[in-house]
Amino acid sequence: MRLWTAQVVSTFGSSASSVIYPLLILALTNSPSAAGVASALRILPYLLLSIPVGALVDRWDRKRVMIVCDLGRLAAVACIPIAIWFDLLALWQLYVVSLVEGTFFVFFNIAEVAALPRVVPRDLLPAATAQNQAAFGAAVVAGPSVGTLLYESLGRAAPFAFDAVTYLVSALSVLAIRTPLRGEAPAAAGKLREQIMEGLRWLWQRPVIRTMAFLTGGINFVYAATPLIMIVLAKEMHASDFDIGVMFSVGGLGGVIGSFFGARVQRSFSFGQVIVAIVWMQALLFPLYLLAPNVVLLGAVFAVIYLLAPIYNVVQFSYRVAQIPDALQGRVNSVFRLLASGLQPLGAGLCGVLLEHAGAVWTVGFFAACYFALAIGAACSRSVRHAPVFGTT
């Protein structure tokens, strides 16, 4: 529960501030491309650092890593309200904070994923993952509305100051954990390259997990573009900043609802049935963003798509971590996360360029085509369709 609290509180703060980054940059520059760059920079560290970080997390004390990362993110985010208060805020500062915050997130996220099997029995991983998804969904529901409310009522600095406080609460929650968060025999301090290759080989020899890494990477490529697409479409409808926050909160409500079904779906259907069905449903729903006549229905489309995401995450995440030996958790998950997140900076950056130079219709059409390609690939994958039963190798 302490690990869960740390994740939820920091996610709530990040949800409150993440929607403000593009709004603030659009207010400063009126450039979707500039907003896309900030989103890309926040994700870029996963592409550059996740592999060595996974090996290091298997060596280091996971609890200490998470505390240091929370304090580092607190310091980075706190720079924004300070700069605003002294009227010194510049676009490059937002870029630097995005990059630094994203870097600490890589360390925290991989350490947290590796720690989860230490505090949850293997047979309860699907239920625990569903609980995490429910809490994350609730944070996504409340976060954007709280962030935009603070932004409009208390000023541009308020959402970032709030985010900084949540990182402090997260650090204190992790500090209170008494259970050792790594195995009795952590990875020895040998050659980093050899340890990285050990995790890579383990993943590559498991066709299901390897395929899911690439499939999830394609989905996250599209996900990275979605928030900016929605903001631009909402702005074209003359929505206020608070309306945009509510729109994202409506979408987050779908995530909360979906999380309650994750563990139940995992028990009732095969792995392949769940994965293929969800990717196809999301692909069919994505083009509806263009047909939404107002902000409420735009949020409703997002809510239905987002409802399916926790189910996908519960099934693939619990399936994966149940297979990985404790001593390899950091390395294997870092390889998986690299493949799953490596295209996110490209998705966010490309979305900004397409929106600015081609318009919303062509942008949505491009990412919808990507989604349909992923759905076809999932349906054609034998390793996904015939995956072994949960908990077996």
DSSP-assigned states of every residue in 200-225:
HHHHHT-HHHHHHHHHHHHHHHHHHH
User: Residues in the chain with pLDDT < 50?
Assistant: 391-393
CA–CA distance, 302 with 289 (Å, rounded to integer) = 8
**Which pLDDT score is estimated for 392?**
47
pLDDT for residue 7: 78
Determine the Cα–Cα distance for residues 208 and 383; give it in Å rounded to an integer. 5
Question: What is the model's pLDDT at position 370?
Answer: 94
| pLDDT for the residue numbered 186 | 52
Which H, E and C letters describe 47-82, residue by residue? HHHHHHHHHHHHHCCHHHHHHHHHHHHHHHHHHHHH
Contact 305, 364 (CB under 8 A): no
CATH code for residues 2-176+192-385: 1.20.1250.20
Describe the crossing of helices 91-119 and 32-59 by its angle, rounded to 10 degrees: 40
157 near 357, Cβ under 8 Å? no
Distance between CA 205 and CA 61 in Å, rounded? 28
Q: What is the pTM of this model?
A: 0.66
Using alpha carbons only, give the angle 216, 219, 223 rounded to the nearest 5 degrees.
130
Handedness of CA 8, 64, 40, 208 (dihedral sign): negative
28 CB neighbour count, 10 Å cutoff: 15
Q: What angle do CA 322, 107, 72 make, to 5 degrees?
A: 145
Q: What does the pLDDT read at residue 113?
A: 80
Decide if 350 contacts 358 (C-beta within 8 A).
no
Which pLDDT belongs to residue 276? 93
- Domain segments of the chain: what residues? 2-176+192-385
User: What are the helix (H) ranges across the chain?
Assistant: 2-18, 20-29, 32-59, 62-85, 91-119, 125-153, 158-175, 192-204, 207-236, 241-268, 271-285, 295-323, 329-341, 344-357, 360-380, 382-385
Residues with Cβ < 8 Å from 218, sequence gap 6 or more?
343, 370, 373, 374, 377
Instruction: Quote the pLDDT of residue 219.
Output: 92
Q: What pLDDT shows up at residue 366? A: 94
357: exposed, middle or buried (Cβ count in 10 Å: 0-12, 13-18, 19+): exposed
